Amino acid sequence: MQGLPIVTIEEMKRIESLAIADGCSEEGFMDEAGAKIAAIAMDFIHKYKLPGKVTLLIGKGNKGGDAFRTGICLLKKNIAVTAFHFFNFDACSPLCRIQGQRFLSMKGEVIFTKSVHPLIFERNSLLIDGLLGTGFQGTLEGTLLQVVQKMNTSHLPILAIDIPSGLNGSTGEVMTSSVKATQTVYLGLPKLGFFIQQGYCHVGELIYADFGLPQAYLGHAKAMGYLVDETKMRDLLPPVVRNRHKYQAGYVVGIAGSKGMSGAAKLSSMASFRAGAGIVRLFYSADMAEEMENTPIELLSQPWFLKDISLVLEAMAKANAIFIGPGMGRDKEAEKFLLQLLPKIKKPIVLDADALFILAQQQEVGLPEQCVVTPHRQEMLRLLGKKDISKHEWQFLEQCQGYVEKKNITLVLKGAPTFIFHPQERPIVIPKGDPGMAKAGVGDVLTGVIAALMAQGMVPYRAAVLGVYLHALAGEIAVKKKTSYGIIASDLVDCLPNAFKQILN
C-alpha cells in the first residue's frame, strides 16, 4: 500500500548529494529531468487539446536549467517555445547557463525582461514554471511576485517543475504568494510541503518524474510518510467467489441516527451496500421512528433502547463489522449507550462523528481491537484535547501518530489530502478526491464504505486505505457529471460502483 516516500527538501538534497558524490552526474540528472518533463508537457497539450505553444518562465537556479532543458526537448518535437528570463545569464547557476546557451543554439527564443512582459500571458499557451526551486524559503517580491500573481490570474494552464515557485517544500508555507499549478511534476520523490499547510492548494495534480537517481538512494531516504500506491488498489479488493451468499458477502451492523439526523444513518448504511456488504442492519434512536418510515427497502432497521441493549448485542455478535456514530446524537442517553457497548465489541468497527465527540469527553475510555476512527481535523483536535493545530502542522500530525500508538487503532484523518495512521507505521497520504466533496454527509459515506470492506474480511488498516481511495474516486467521478459545485453525499453512494469499476479496469 505504501508508494513513494514523502521527504523534506533537506532529505531530498541529502540523497542527491550522496549520489553525485558517488559519481552520478548532476548535468545528466538535468538532461533526464528535461526529457521526462517535456513528455509530460506533451501529454498535457494533447489531453487538453492545446495548440503546440509553450512559454517558459525562467529563474536563475537549476530549476531554470530544468526548464531550459525541457524547452530543448520540446523544440525537438516541433513545439513553439518561448522563454522569458528574469535574470542575466551571468547571475545564473552554471547548469542554468549551460542549458540556456543550448536552448539558444536550438533557435529557441529567449526574451530577457525585468518586468511582467506583455507577451508572457498570450492566450492558448502552456506556462512552465521554472522560476524558483525547492531551495527557496523566503518571501517573493518585486518582479517575481508580480509574475507569480499574474500567472495565477491568467487562466492559463501551469505546469510547475518539481515545486510551485514560492512554496516552502518542507513546511507547505506560502509567505507572500506561490504559483497555483495545474500540475506539479515532482522530481524523484514527493515533498512534504505538498501535503501540509497551504501546499495542497498550490500543487494541483501531482505527476511523478524519474530523473535518473538510482533506486538505492531513493530507498535510503528518511520518509516522513508515503504516497498511496495506486497500482496496489486492485490487489486489495476483497475476492468475490461464485457461490457466496449474503452473509459471506459481509454482515454490517450500524448504530447511527437520532431525531433530525436520519440522513447520516441512511447514507452510511447504503454506502455499505454499495461497497459490497451483503446485509446491513441499522439500529437507530427510538425517538426518530417517523423519520425512518422511508428507509431504503434493502435496509434492515429497528430502534435501540437504553434499558435493553440485548438485541443490539445479539446482532453485533453475528456481524462481521460494525459502524457507530453518524448522526447518533450527543446527549447523555447516547453517551451511556455507547459506553455500555464499547467494552463488549469484539468485531472490526468504525467510529465516527458523534461517537468521536463522546469519546473526546471520555479520554480514558479504551477502544476495541480492530478499530478505525475517522475524524476530520476539528474532531481530531477534540480527541487530542487541544483547541487548535500547532504552528507547524507536522507537529499536529505527529500527535495524531501518538494517539494511534496509545490507543492501538487505525486513524483516518479526513481532509485534502487524507492521512491514514497506523501503529508503528509512517502515515499514508491519499491525494485524491475533489473540493466538491466538502459537503454534509460525505464523511458518513466513508464510514459505511470502510465498514463494508472490513465485513468482507479486510483488516482495518487495509480497509481504511482502500475505503478512502474508493471514496475519493467516487467523488471524482461524481464531479465529472455534476461539477464541484453540484455534487451531494448521495452522489458518492451512487458512484461507488463506477469507482470499483475504475479500479478493476
Domain boundary among 223, 254, 273: 223
The verdict on residue 229 lying in a domain is no
pLDDT at 219: 85
pLDDT digits (tens, 9 = 90+) for 432-475: 999 999 999 999 999 999 999 999 999 999 999 999 999 999 99
Question: What average pLDDT score do residues 409-436 get?
Answer: 98
DSSP 259: T
**Nearest Cα to Cα of residue 69 among 43, 44, 93:** 93
pLDDT at 52: 83
pLDDT at 388: 83
The verdict on residue 238 lying in a domain is no
DSSP 193: G
Q: What is the mean pLDDT of the chain?
A: 96
pLDDT at 51: 86
d(CA 217, CA 13): 11
If asked whether residues 285 and 357 sit together in one domain, one would say: yes
If asked whether residues 219 and 250 sit together in one domain, one would say: no
Domain boundary among 188, 223, 258: 223
pLDDT at 138: 85
d(CA 164, CA 6): 17
Question: What average pLDDT score do residues 330-357 get?
Answer: 97
If asked whether residues 295 and 148 sit together in one domain, one would say: no
The band of 392, judged by pLDDT with boundaries at 50, 70 and 90, is confident
Q: What are phi and psi of 306, to 5 degrees?
A: -60, -35
d(CA 462, CA 138): 40
CB 431 within 8 A of CB 227: yes
* CA-to-CA separations, 183 to 66, 308, 465, 504, in angstroms, rounded: 16, 56, 24, 26
Question: What average pLDDT score do residues 296-325 get?
Answer: 96
pLDDT at 123: 78
Q: Is the pLDDT of residue 390 over 80?
A: no
CB 324 within 8 A of CB 254: yes
Task: State which residues form the domain around 256.
Answer: 244-504
* CA-to-CA separations, 385 to 112, 382, 422, 461, in angstroms, rounded: 55, 5, 20, 24
- Cell (9 digits) for 402: 501518538
Question: What average pLDDT score do residues 329-333 get?
Answer: 95
Share of the chain above pLDDT 70, in %: 100
List all residues 6 or more positions away from 229 whose beta carbon is below 8 Å from its beta carbon. Answer: 1, 2, 3
The verdict on residue 230 lying in a domain is no
pLDDT digits (tens, 9 = 90+) for 12-68: 999 999 999 999 999 999 999 999 999 999 999 998 888 889 999 999 999 999 999
The verdict on residue 231 lying in a domain is no
What 3-state DSSP class applies to 65?
A: helix
If asked whether residues 487 and 389 sit together in one domain, one would say: yes
The verdict on residue 237 lying in a domain is no
CB 350 within 8 A of CB 454: yes
If asked whether residues 255 and 215 sit together in one domain, one would say: no
If asked whether residues 497 and 456 sit together in one domain, one would say: yes
pLDDT digits (tens, 9 = 90+) for 191-240: 999 999 999 999 999 999 999 999 999 888 999 999 999 999 999 999 99
If asked whether residues 216 and 251 sit together in one domain, one would say: no
The number of residues making up the chain comes to: 505
The verdict on residue 233 lying in a domain is no
513528455: which residue's cell? 39
Domain boundary among 176, 194, 223: 223
The alpha carbons of the chain give a radius of gyration, in whole angstroms, of 26
Share of the chain above pLDDT 90, in %: 92
If asked whether residues 108 and 199 sit together in one domain, one would say: yes
If asked whether residues 250 and 191 sit together in one domain, one would say: no
d(CA 236, CA 246): 20
d(CA 144, CA 166): 9
Q: Is the pLDDT of residue 131 over 90?
A: yes
The band of 330, judged by pLDDT with boundaries at 50, 70 and 90, is very high
What 3-state DSSP class applies to 284?
A: strand
Q: What is the CATH number of the domain that holds 369?
A: 3.40.1190.20
The verdict on residue 154 lying in a domain is yes
The tally of domains found in the chain comes to: 2
Q: Is 23 exposed, middle or buried (0-12, 13-18, 19+ CB in 10 A)?
A: exposed
Q: What is the CATH number of the domain that holds 111?
A: 3.40.50.10260
CB 430 within 8 A of CB 418: yes
If asked whether residues 178 and 278 sit together in one domain, one would say: no
Q: How many CB atoms lie within 10 A of CB 260?
A: 11
If asked whether residues 197 and 263 sit together in one domain, one would say: no
Q: Range with the lowest mean pLDDT among 111-115, 289-293, 375-379, 473-477?
A: 289-293
If asked whether residues 275 and 186 sit together in one domain, one would say: no
pLDDT at 293: 85
Question: What average pLDDT score do residues 262-278 get?
Answer: 97
DSSP 79: -
Q: Is 78 exposed, middle or buried (0-12, 13-18, 19+ CB in 10 A)?
A: exposed
The verdict on residue 235 lying in a domain is no
